[in-house]
Amino acid sequence: MNAAALALLAVTATASGAPATIGPGTYRPAFPVSPTETEIPVAKFRLDREPVTNADYLAFVRAKPEWRRGSATTLYTDPEYLAHWAGALELGTARSRAPVVRVSWFAARAYCQWRGGRLPTESEWELAAAADDTRLDASADPAFEARILAWYAQPTPAILPDVGGTPNAWGVRDLHGLVWEWVEDWNASLVSADSRDASRNQVCGASAAASKDAKAYATFLRLAFRSALEARFTTASLGFRCAYEEAP
């Protein structure tokens, strides 16, 4: 077995334990696709229990030189790609167990494919993130919403803390309170300003009026953040985790 295969096995086995099984369930998007499509069924899937860490991603770029800082094409990354690392293969002050950030959607997608997975869809991510530590769906609880919003109001720390927060009812950690996360369909919930279909998702400056719940500010913020991104963008507060099809 070659070194790249060994590295992949090590990352898969140790990154965050076996992925958590999520669902099946129903996601009720803040902006329904249409008046008659207010719920999205989500099939059972598996999700990493923690975000991908710097150490995890280092194993990836060791195995895939084309994704190293300084080697990755500018079509798929911006100039800040992995800028917090000391070098192409050196973490420097970036903690090994902290979530990797400064990665583009393209890079996150390539990593998950290397792991034998994929990025979660928005519906999958939101279904998993609706759980608190005891309930599979705490989205209607104002206290749960307030806790998420309190984190959104905080500036990103210069050095991110390690992954490994309290697991939610699905057994997944750090969906809130650590970093924002890429999803596969990161901009699918919002229409462009040039959309000619006034009924399609109805996203505009007063979009809360078209939402399923005008109090769901945390969801609005996530959608607004995603809508401002391009697939090659990286930020100091944006990481990711991988999803997988249900085990046979």
Beta bridge partners of 245: 45
CA atoms within 13 A on the CB side of 209: 5
Q: How far apart are CA 233 and CA 189, in angstroms?
A: 18
Tell me the two tokens of residue 11.
């990352």
Given a contact cutoff of 8 angstroms between Cβ atoms, the answer to whether 107 and 74 are in contact is no
Residue 118 clears pLDDT 90, i.e. is over it? yes
Q: How far apart are CA 27 and CA 207, in angstroms?
A: 19
Position 248 confidence tier, pLDDT thresholds 50, 70, 90: low
Place of tokens 């992925």: 19
Given a contact cutoff of 8 angstroms between Cβ atoms, the answer to whether 51 and 181 are in contact is yes
Task: Tell me what pLDDT residue 214 has.
Answer: 45
What mean pLDDT comes out for the span 162-188? 92
Given a contact cutoff of 8 angstroms between Cβ atoms, the answer to whether 23 and 130 are in contact is no
Task: Tell me what pLDDT residue 220 has.
Answer: 58
Residue 4 clears pLDDT 60, i.e. is over it? no
How do residues 56-72 score in pLDDT, each as one tens digit?
Answer: 999 999 999 999 999 99
Query: At residue 34, what is the residue type?
Result: S
Please, is 207 exposed, middle or buried when counting C-beta atoms within 10 Å of its C-beta (0-12, 13-18, 19+)?
A: middle
Alpha-helical regions (H) of 15-53: none
Q: Where are the beta strands (DSSP E) in 28-146?
A: 40-42, 45-47
Task: Tell me what pLDDT residue 135 has.
Answer: 97
In terms of Cα–Cα distance, which of 59, 82, 62 is closest to 238?
82
User: In sequence order, what are the residues at sequence separation of 6 or more whose Cβ sits closer than 8 angstroms to the Cβ of residue 2?
Assistant: none
Could you list the residue range(s) of the whole structural domain that residue 20 is in?
3-245
Task: Tell me what pLDDT residue 227 has.
Answer: 65
Beta bridge partners of 243: 47, 118
Longest dimension (CA), the chain: 57
Task: Tell me what pLDDT residue 145 has.
Answer: 86
CATH at residue 68: 3.90.1580
Domain count, the chain: 1
Percentage, residues of the chain above pLDDT 70: 74
